[in-house]
Amino acid sequence: QVLLVESGGGLVQPGGSLRLSCVASGIIFSITNMGWYRQAPGKERELVATITDSGSANYADSVKGRFTISRDSAENTEYLQMNSLKPEDTAVYYCGARIVSSSDNRVYWGRGTQVTVSS
C-alpha cells in the first residue's frame, strides 16, 4: 500500500516561512511528477507547484518568487519551501504524486497539512 504523508504545516505570521515535506512509502517502483496543491475554505483545490522527475518545476503565479518546490528522489520525498507568506496563503496543503507501485500506476494524495498565516 502506497501512502503519502505531509508534515511541516502550522501557524506563522505574515512574512514568515514554513517548509512542508511529503514522504511516499510502500512498494514504489518509480515516481514521475510530484506536486503541491492547496484548498482554502470555500474554494476549490488549486495547484501550487509541480516538479518532474528531471527536476523541472512549475509554479502558480500567486506563489512565484516566494515558494520553491524540490524533491529527493532517493528518499521519495518532496518539499515546499514557503517564504514571505501572506494571509491568502492560508489553506490545507496537499501533496500529490504519480507513482508506479507493485499494484498500479496512478496519482496518490496525502491527507493534507494545515497552513495558517495570521498575526
Average pLDDT, the chain: 96
d(CA 51, CA 14): 26
Q: What local confidence, expressed as pLDDT, does residue 114 receive? A: 98
Q: Which residues contact 8 (CB under 8 A, 6 or more apart)?
A: 18, 19, 20, 21, 113
Each residue's pLDDT tens digit, 32-88: 999 999 999 999 999 999 999 999 999 999 999 999 999 999 999 999 999 999 999
Residue whose cell numbers read 504519480:
98
For residue 51, the cross-strand partners are: 34, 57
Integer Rg of the chain from CA: 14
